[in-house]
Structure 1
Amino acid sequence: MNEFSSIILEMMKNPPDADESIPVVNRFSTAIAVTLPFLVLSVVAVGLRLYTRLHLVREPGWDDVFVAIAVLLNIVGQTTFLGGVKAGIGQHLIYILGTLPTAMKWFYVANAAYTSTTVCIKLSLLLQYLRLFREGYRRTATLIFLAIVTLWGGTFSFMAWFPCFPVSGFWNKTMVPPATCYAFGYRTLDGGTNTLFAFAGSNMSLDILIFLIPLTEYFQPSLKRKQVLAMTGLFGVGLIAILMAVLRLWSGLKYNHRGIIMYDYTFWLPEVQVFSCLEIDFAIMCASMPIFWPSVMAAWNQIYVTKEVIVTVSVERRYDSNKDDLEMAMASSVRSNESTEDMVTGHSTEGRPFFIEDLTALRIVQIKSPEETLRMSWGGTALKK
């Protein structure tokens, strides 16, 4: 008799109440209501990011590649999570033995996709930092963490996608001869749960450390009020992602060393997976906001420019016959330009703002398309035509 069978027999000696109500977080409707809106927001954020980098700025990088992979894996992971809940994840283990192989197939993909997604989003953030920090201790720290995350992520991703040999041994515990399993493969249930907790703990720690690297930018004395507010919003989203990682670890650890309930993993998995989904969604949004937000502001300002240009042209035509009045109108326009020049920021370690504050001056100084305006602003303090 293998360990899995002995645990099932032990649970049957004192089975949970079959008539008890399912916790709210274990319900399929709850899983959809909580995860789907944030999944959509993360997809939209990446879409805006890629549009900005590919079409407006035209400076794509490896950080964009990894965030695109992350959002695709996130879609796969959250879809299979919902499939697992539909197949029985969220109910007590001994009551879904008939559908357990199917439920575990869904969980296998969801867990592997989540593991790889956390790796990709960390790599995307670190590669994004390399574009920002061209020298100094922050670049050194970024390179060190890039190496650590590559090794850490490669190891855990391999264990998640290949938990057993053959892989089918993950969901078929009765196959003959038995599969060779380890870590995520639940060769022993203690080993499987310990691997989940080890990954969750190291993932949370890396999230916090990576989050701290650009935090020093927040305390630059040259930051203006709008920049401070923008970066506060950005770091706020990052803190939510870290909070979700902490809650994910807590939601699993609270069942540890609680007797037979610890092995009733199908019952407590949904709460862990919900926090996993939210963690990834907020991390993706945090990574994308500094990229696409300037394009949103540029598009908004361009609407204002269009109206302003029409008014200016009408004034010049109206006073075309009067040279003095025309010069007064032109001088007024120049003063308007000068009054907004101090609203453009250009502070960063590379000459590129961490988060562009405002494009108000550009909307008057350069009456051009939003695409050209954004390309000029993103080039740094020296505007490039």
Structure 2
Amino acid sequence: MATEKILLQMLANPPDPNEALPLSNRRETILGTTIPFLIISWMAILFRLYVRFRIVREPGWDDFFVVLAGTCNTIATTFLIKSTEYGLGHHLLYNPLPHTIKYQMMFYVENGLYITEGAIIKISLLFQYLRIFKAGTMRWISLTLLVIISLWGLAYSIMTWVPCFPIREFWDRKETTKCYGFGFNDQESFIRLFESHTALNMVFDFFVFVTPLVLFKQPHLRLKNIIAMTGVFLIGGSVVFISIWRLYTIVEHRAATHPYIDFTWWSPITLLLSCLEINLAIICASMPIFWPVLEKSLSHIFVTSEVRISTEQRYREEAGRGFELAGRSGSVKSTSGNSRESLTREPTNATIDPYAHYKDRYILAQVDPFWNDSLPGARVETEVASRPKPKWAI
């Protein structure tokens, strides 16, 4: 459909130029939603790569595809933010024509990347499942989903990257332009293609994220494993929910053409949901890789248990003199003898047996395996009492 016809349709039902901007259309909302989640998703990717390359030393195709999805997501987010300078969030009818052409160019890149990376991140997850399921029914299910989603992603990617002949006429339309599907040759085919892609995306999200639920049936799962897996599946559930929400916005506004054609006004909420969906999917795909290593590292940093040590004081008798070594203060008490002997344990007479320490009951108990260590003063007892690590401590 030529630009002139689109403008004539908008002029037939012009929007209020002073209409208040919805929350999703504001630039600060777009920046505040996309940038933090983009940073978090890249943190998850980098943690994942560190574990795979430096600790496990087993990188695979799933790592390649998650990096590819993250790269596409970064470029798409950059174009999404930049498009706010060319009319995104405002009414298309009141946008200058040069800005509208710029916006169409950026939307072409955004739409192509979001549709492509939506398939790529699912492929990454399925390659990850193939690492877990080495044989059996679950492996065949993962392989089947991998083939179907790859073909689905390839087909829709071709239609979004080559919507017109030549491609540049997607944003520089003429009466003779030959477009189809995402190229908006006619309104009905454009709406049906958007709705079909989003519906299939939602279905595939559901199947990909419920496939590993079979892991809950594994015997002898510890509570820590169950909690960690539940957290991952909650994020996966959020991805499915956002996919459903995105489908709702497309159906409600009929791919930004209802109640009137206004791509820059109705699109922001759909684009934001697409961005959130990809970021959460990347985080969900990476968490099972790096979280066990991160948790183990944190357990070495923070105190997680308490230890109490109690000792039995040693009592020694020598030729009518008794010495008690106090465990807490380190003082020496004497039951008999003069003060010099009591404090220094050195006899005052000149006769000293140089081998006396070999006859000490405590020393004999430590070095002689046949010594009877049940005799008084022959052993030191230590009791170590600890409490288990709290379940929610990090």
TM-score band, normalised by the shorter chain?
0.7 to 0.9
**Aligned-partner Cα distance in 2 for 1:292–1:219:** 23
Whose radius of gyration is greater, 1 or 2?
2
1:207 aligned to 205, 208, 212, which one? 205
The equivalences for 1:132-211 within 5 A come to 132-174=132-174, 178-211=176-209
Q: What is the aligned partner in structure 1 of residue 351 from structure 2?
A: none
Identify unmatched segments of 5+ residues in structure 2: 310-361, 370-378
**3-state SS in 2 of match to 1:261:** coil
User: Conserved in 1, the CA contact under 8 Å of 2:13 and 2:260?
Assistant: no
Residues 157/324 of structure 1: CA separation in 2 closer, same or farther (3 Å cut): farther
C-alpha deviations, 1:97-127, integer Å up to 9, x for none?
5111100111111111111111110010000
**Aligned-partner Cα distance in 2 for 1:257–1:70:** 24
| Count of residues in Structure 1 that have an aligned counterpart in Structure 2 | 328
The equivalences for 1:319-330 within 5 A come to none
User: Conserved in 2, the CA contact under 8 Å of 1:248 and 1:275?
Assistant: yes
Residues 62/323 of structure 1: CA separation in 2 closer, same or farther (3 Å cut): farther
User: Which amino acid in 2 is paired with 1:204?
Assistant: M
**Aligned-partner Cα distance in 1 for 2:364–2:132:** 49
Q: What is the aligned partner in structure 1 of residue 106 from structure 2?
A: 106
Q: What is the aligned partner in structure 2 of residue 266 from structure 1?
A: 264
Residues 260/300 of structure 1: CA separation in 2 closer, same or farther (3 Å cut): closer
Q: Which segments of structure 1 move beyond 4 Å, counting only runs of 4 or more?
A: 257-260, 321-333
User: Conserved in 2, the CA contact under 8 Å of 1:251 and 1:272?
Assistant: yes
**Aligned-partner Cα distance in 1 for 2:130–2:202:** 22
User: Conserved in 2, the CA contact under 8 Å of 1:11 and 1:260?
Assistant: no
User: Conserved in 2, the CA contact under 8 Å of 1:252 and 1:268?
Assistant: no
Q: What is the aligned partner in structure 1 of residue 127 from structure 2?
A: 127
Residues 281/332 of structure 1: CA separation in 2 closer, same or farther (3 Å cut): farther
User: Which amino acid in 1 is paired with 2:232?
Assistant: L
The equivalences for 1:272-283 within 5 A come to 272-283=270-281
Residues 112/322 of structure 1: CA separation in 2 closer, same or farther (3 Å cut): farther
The equivalences for 1:1-385 within 5 A come to 4-98=3-97, 99-174=99-174, 178-256=176-254, 261-303=259-301
C-alpha deviations, 1:339-379, integer Å up to 9, x for none?
99xx9xxxxxxxxxxxxx99x9xxxxxxxxxxxxxxxxxxx
RMSD of aligned C-alpha atoms? Answer: 3.3
User: Conserved in 2, the CA contact under 8 Å of 1:200 and 1:248?
Assistant: yes
Residues 284/4 of structure 1: CA separation in 2 closer, same or farther (3 Å cut): same
Q: What is the aligned partner in structure 1 of residue 322 from structure 2?
A: none
**Aligned-partner Cα distance in 1 for 2:168–2:86:** 17
Q: What is the aligned partner in structure 1 of residue 358 from structure 2?
A: none
C-alpha deviations, 1:236-268, integer Å up to 9, x for none?
111111111111111111113997534222211
What is the CA-CA distance between 1:269 and the residue it aligns to? 0.4
Residues 13/232 of structure 1: CA separation in 2 closer, same or farther (3 Å cut): same
TM-score normalised to structure 1 length: 0.77
User: Which amino acid in 1 is paired with 2:149?
Assistant: V
What is the CA-CA distance between 1:330 and the residue it aligns to? 12
C-alpha deviations, 1:284-316, integer Å up to 9, x for none?
0000000010110222234369x99xx9xxxxx
**Aligned-partner Cα distance in 1 for 2:383–2:56:** 32
**Aligned-partner Cα distance in 1 for 2:261–2:380:** 79
User: Which amino acid in 2 is paired with 1:144?
Assistant: T
C-alpha deviations, 1:149-200, integer Å up to 9, x for none?
11001111111222222211111113x7x33211111112322222111111
**Aligned-partner Cα distance in 2 for 1:262–1:65:** 42
**Comparing 84-93 with 148-157, which one deviates more in the overlay?**
84-93
User: Conserved in 2, the CA contact under 8 Å of 1:63 and 1:123?
Assistant: yes
User: Conserved in 2, the CA contact under 8 Å of 1:49 and 1:288?
Assistant: yes
What is the CA-CA distance between 1:280 and the residue it aligns to? 0.5
TM-score normalised to structure 2 length: 0.76
User: Conserved in 1, the CA contact under 8 Å of 2:34 and 2:275?
Assistant: yes
Residues 16/262 of structure 1: CA separation in 2 closer, same or farther (3 Å cut): closer
- The share of aligned pairs that are identical, in percent, is 36
**Aligned-partner Cα distance in 2 for 1:147–1:228:** 30
User: Conserved in 1, the CA contact under 8 Å of 2:256 and 2:262?
Assistant: no
C-alpha deviations, 1:182-219, integer Å up to 9, x for none?
11111123222221111111111000011111012123
User: Conserved in 2, the CA contact under 8 Å of 1:3 and 1:188?
Assistant: no
What is the CA-CA distance between 1:91 and the residue it aligns to? 1.6
